[in-house]
Amino acid sequence: MSTIPAPIDATQTPAWKALQEHHDRLVEEGISLKGWFAADPERVEKLTFEAGDLHIDLSRDLITDETVRLLCDLGRAVGVEERRDAMFSGAHINTTEDRAVLHTALRRPKEQAGTLIVDGQDVVADVHEVLDRMYAFADKVRSGAWRGVSGKKIEHVVSVGIGGSDLGPVMVYEALKPYADAGIDCRYISNIDPNDAAEKLAGLDPETTLVIIVSKTFTTLETLTNAREVRTWMLDALERAGAIDGSAESRAEAIRKHFVAVSTALDLVEEFGIDPENAFGFWNWVGGRYSVDSAVGLSLIVALGPERFQEFLGGFRAIDEYFQKTPLEENVVALMGLMNVWYVNFFGAESHAVLPYNQYLHRFPAYLQQLTMESNGKGVRWDGTPVTSATGEIFWGEPGTNGQHAFYQLIHQGTRMVPADFIAFVNTPHPVRDGEQDVHELFLGNFLAQTKALAFGKTADEVRAEGTPEEIVPARVFTGNRPTTSIFGDTLTPFALGELIALYEHITFVQGTVWGIDSYDQWGVELGKQLAKQITPAFHDDAALTEQDPATQALIRYYRAHRR
Ligand SMILES: O=P(O)(O)OC[C@H]1O[C@H](O)[C@H](O)[C@@H](O)[C@@H]1O
């Protein structure tokens, strides 16, 4: 039985009512970022924050001094600070699974060993025991001391995992490619669609390939199916190449040299045939979507090296400490979470765009979709009662400038409010000039242009002044007052990326707390898994087919008629 107090219904607090009145008043007066900037010369300064080394500007969000004050009142009324402290200290805030939520312990420094004992476990000491083993393993692979069964150095890593065991590592690997300095390339297989493995394994030399099977539970259908497929591919190819003979011993030796695993279920790893020496554990208090900084990041340590990974953890830690220690009014991490509540519950925003102006972050929106939507897409609260307001907006996005030529039209002139986070960095690892023009500045100019257009728009008079025929004036008007947050950093380093991830982890936490939901379970993915097991036999079995509903039966009949 959980000892976590029932959630406070945010909608019944005086702060919520005050926010509703404040919202209605702003709408009645007419929301005008232009007007707000004109009336308050200090607006930029007041609404710009330094969190770690991220520079975050909320001045073009639809908030005033009063909004900030009321949002903080709401945060305090629902106990954001108390719940934050409970999470960091290892309380079982994941009530439906009766678990602690301690991804923040993954980045605590070694010196803190002994200071966080949860359920009888010295959490920090355990974290560093695994980190040290991973660092030693990665050093061996990177230096060539670890060799494949035929004595060749490892040049490729194939990581097999899905969801939280895939999206984080892929996103970080892509984001930090300029730091991959050991000549080891990583490929990630996730989908049970055999096309994924076929494409990722194409052209790989098994003698120089290391496979990492990543699964928190080690029971996930996709991952285990792909793991078996990759094992067969590896053993057959090694045998064809003469690197092993067909004997059980040589096959076991090949698995020992070419397969490692990451899981919380080390017994199942061993059952799969992987040497426990080559297995790296983590704990049930790390949610899958919060696990990229656990052993789940093993491929990253191999590709980037232990030092870069330590810097990455340092970035998370900087934001953790900031989030823990900064008073709410100045705490941009908490404010961003509260502001998302403001947009969802008071303006009716249904989605939130995340638009990185950095091609290396091209998988960041996909990663955030699991982090935010699997966490906050819930309809009941942590005590089992229904939610009392809308929850879980849809997160989506693509890198700029690509998105500008695709979907920004809707953000600029559509009928829906889409709050958007723009993420950009001052420096690039690839400085390029086009004649006199610095191309990175041309790129960043677009980030600044888009946020400016969204905030301040273009009036009918401005459009007319350009000589536009009257009948097309309305189509060329931009209303402005479309909210954006700008996150600017120095360089996309491992440290900065750790900061960005921790920022969104805590934003998600704050929103979940206001809504009273357990952001750390994911029961919503279970039903589909169960039904897939029940339906799959119906492709061939008539008795199983007749048990299905009419729509499913009809699709299976279509399948049967067309299968070659
Ligand atoms: O790491 P695994 O146990 O294989 O789980 C992989 C993924 O599967 C699920 O169904 C969950 O919805 C995800 O939260 C999880 O990350």
ipTM of the prediction: 0.98
> Is 529 one of the catalytic residues?
yes
- Residue closest via CA to ligand 1's atom 14 equals 288
Instruction: Tell me, rounded to whole angstroms, the distance of Cα 316 from its chain centroid.
Output: 13
* CB count in 10 Å sphere of residue 256: 15
In whole angstroms, what is the distance from residue 441 CA to residue 437 CA?
Answer: 8
Q: What is the pLDDT of residue 137?
A: 98
Q: Do 310 and 496 meet the contact criterion of CB atoms below 8 Å apart?
A: no
For a pocket test of ligand 1, which of 96, 160, 165 has the largest count of ligand atoms closer than 8 A to its C-beta? 165
| Ligand 1 closest atom vs CA 167 | 16
Q: Is domain 108-306 annotated with CATH 3.40.50.10490?
A: yes
Distance 214 CA to ligand 1 centre (A): 10
Tens-place pLDDT, residues 155-183: 999 999 999 999 999 999 999 999 999 99
Query: How would CATH label the architecture of 10-91+326-515?
Result: 3-Layer(aba) Sandwich (3.40)
Whether pLDDT at 3 is above 90: no
Distance 68 CA to ligand 1 centre (A): 36
The kind and range of the H/E element at 316 are helix 306-325
Whether pLDDT at 128 is above 90: yes
Whether pLDDT at 341 is above 90: yes
Quickly state the pLDDT bin for 2 (edges 50, 70, 90).
low
The residue from 374, 393, 398, 499 that is catalytic is 374
Q: What is the value of pTM for the model shown?
A: 0.98
The residue from 28, 45, 111, 405 that is catalytic is 405
Tell me the two tokens of residue 46.
Answer: 């007041």
Distance 220 CA to ligand 1 centre (A): 7
**First-residue to last-residue Cα distance in the chain:** 54
When the pLDDT of each residue in the chain is averaged and rounded to a whole number, the result is: 97
In whole angstroms, what is the distance from residue 165 CA to residue 287 CA?
Answer: 10
DSSP label of 503: H
In whole angstroms, what is the distance from residue 252 CA to residue 228 CA?
Answer: 14
Quickly state the pLDDT bin for 1 (edges 50, 70, 90).
very low
Regarding the beta carbon of 190 and ligand 1, being less than 6 Å apart is answered no
Tell me the two tokens of residue 71.
Answer: 């949002």
Regarding the beta carbon of 168 and ligand 1, being less than 6 Å apart is answered no
Regarding the beta carbon of 292 and ligand 1, being less than 6 Å apart is answered no
Tens-place pLDDT, residues 54-81: 999 999 999 999 999 999 999 999 999 9
Regarding the beta carbon of 374 and ligand 1, being less than 6 Å apart is answered yes
